[in-house]
Amino acid sequence: MCGIVGYVGPQNAVPLLLEGLHQLEYRGYDSAGIAVTDSGGLQVVKTAGKVSNLRKIVPAALAASSGIAHTRWATHGEPNDRNAHPHTDERRRIAIVHNGVLENSEQLRAQLTADGVQLASETDSEVLAHLISRSEATTLEDAVREALHQVEGTYGIIVLDADRPGELVAARRGSPIVLGVGDQEMLIASDVAALVRYTQTVIYLDDDELATVSADGYHTSTMDAESTTKFPTSVDLTSDEYELGSHPDFMHKEIHEQRAAVDRCLRGRLDRRFMSARLDGIGLSPREYQQIRRVKLLGCGSAYYAGQVGAGMIEELARIPADAEPASEFRYRNPVIDSDTLYVAISQSGETLDTLAAVHELKRKGGRVIGLVNVVSSSIARECGSGIFLHAGPEASVAATKSFTNMSVALALLALELGRVRDLSLAEGRRLVQGLDDLPGHIDEILGAEEEIASIAKRYANAEHMFFIGRVRGWPVAREGAQKLKEISYIHAEAYQSSELKHGPLALIDPNMPTVAVVPDDELLSKNISTIEEIKARGGPIIAVTDADLPSGLVTDVIRIPRAQPELAAITLSVPLQLFSYHLAKTLGRDIDRPRNLAKSVTVE
């Protein structure tokens, strides 16, 4: 959840570390800090607030050849200077940065306190610095290994020892760590976003693996001190992809990248000979597809809602029972794992801990699970070994936009392929292939209406609450729309199935309660209109997002979108809700990319 960076090499580490934190700030921005070793020993500078606050207080003359840095999303202890990372031991010899949660930290803190250690923070992470410092091991790597054997939970850590300024030690369990290999220099980070400005050659650590790095290279090993062999790979990313360009913030940039992102997701995957999809990354034959009797989609937040979109498409097109479930709940209810069920783990980062834990549970019980992720070498991608790569490109804003759209498109491809190996006709396949071909153009048309959508959004900036409603295909769209609004505008928003509104929630409708109605032009149009009439009769303002021709005067405002194939309508209906939420939040002056209390790439439970 937090962002961590390390550097060792001939350059001044300070500006590299600060720039790395800037690139990782989407992972946490409650506090930030830096620790380096210079001629005066260990120098630590940290503060509550964003990386910009840290930049202001780092001495201009501070220089060092090695260091570590951290930007935090708080789990233990409120965001303040004292709880900011890096944390040190009492002698200020060891400094650590940590991403994850140590589940036995209270017991360890009690033991350290009983031994006379003066703890300086309320965090779980600080105990690691003291445990490493107290080790009698002769190498930093062994001291770190010894300390990690005493902790329970998840971690991605980097350790700096003032007595060994030329090396850093990193380790991971459940939280990502990637090494960047440069020219006589090494970098470490929790995400390649911090590295691509300096190198495209990277190494991903596996769980329970450590790395000792110096300017000359790296050495990796297991928790049992056995050497491991890691081969560098190249990442197809550049620093330009993490720049705003002409956009005011990353959410706006990423909304406008959706045409290109969908193009990439579809490229080479539409089989125009058989009017099907070509998903070679899944690695299943038509006979194996035929043997699938159920599909279960697992994700968290927007990935879960995309799973609901996908489940609907799979049932419609392939006539296979399909449903989506929050990955955070899946393993805790002791689920029955069927050998004829295809499980799909959905995650933008590929590091979402709850989803990764669900994958582990599925593999332990013999389930067939594929990944649907946006990062090729992520933990979920490697654990699953097969799946669908999203090709959405980097997504730095906390709010999911292009990743949600590409998740839905990828699941439409899966639904099409499953359908065509069953009962979906060639003609129906042709219709859907054409519908998928049309999606990038539809998205362009929606983005072209941004000014109109913005003007509608601004009219509702004073609302304290909103309903989002939809039926069947529109229901997950309503859920995702409500999530977007509340996470970036802080307006309370609730999503309901349209049919459920009269079973209680209708009591809240009044002239101060706007409702966003998701109304696809499908067989349920007349029922959606009836629900809107019920809201209108009670004085509630209504914003309709629709590709249908609604009766004149039915709604207060209407956001019209191009007409898509009915099974694909959820994809196009979602895009204007992103713009609606964005401009409403912008009107309220919110920090769009870094909404309060949230962070991207959730690597804690």
Distance in angstroms (rounded) separating the CA atoms of residues 6 and 20 = 9
**Out of 253, 296, 484, 600, which one is annotated catalytic?**
600
Could you count the other beta carbons within 10 Å of the beta carbon of residue 464? 9
Q: Is 365 a catalytic residue?
A: no
The answer to whether 582 and 251 have CB atoms below 8 angstroms apart is yes
β-strand pairing of 66-72 with 31-38: antiparallel
**Out of 2, 265, 300, 384, which one is annotated catalytic?**
2
Beta bridge partners of 218: 213
Give, as one character, the DSSP assignment of residue 135: -
Closest to 255 in 3D by CA, of 409, 86, 395? 395
Could you count the other beta carbons within 10 Å of the beta carbon of residue 326? 16
Assigned token pair, 536: 């209108």
Q: C-alpha distances in angstroms, 560 versus 60, 229, 291, 455, 457?
A: 53, 55, 41, 14, 14
Q: Is 2 a catalytic residue?
A: yes
Q: C-alpha distances in angstroms, 9 versus 39, 181, 231?
A: 16, 11, 21
Categorise residue 279: left if φ over 0, alpha if ψ from -120 to 50, beta otherwise. beta
Rg of the chain over Cα atoms, rounded to whole angstroms, equals 25
Distance in angstroms (rounded) separating the CA atoms of residues 170 and 158 = 4
The answer to whether 382 and 421 have CB atoms below 8 angstroms apart is no
Closest to 484 in 3D by CA, of 557, 393, 405, 585? 585
Backbone phi and psi for residue 375, each to the nearest 5 degrees, phi listed first: -125, 115
Instruction: Look at residue 564 and give its three-state secondary structure.
Output: coil
Instruction: Look at residue 222 and give its three-state secondary structure.
Output: strand
The answer to whether 507 and 501 have CB atoms below 8 angstroms apart is no
| One-character DSSP codes across 523-560 | TTHHHHHHHHHHHHHTT--EEEEESS-PPTTSSSEEEE
Closest to 64 in 3D by CA, of 15, 30, 24? 15
Beta bridge partners of 41: 38
**Catalytic residue ranges:** 2, 600
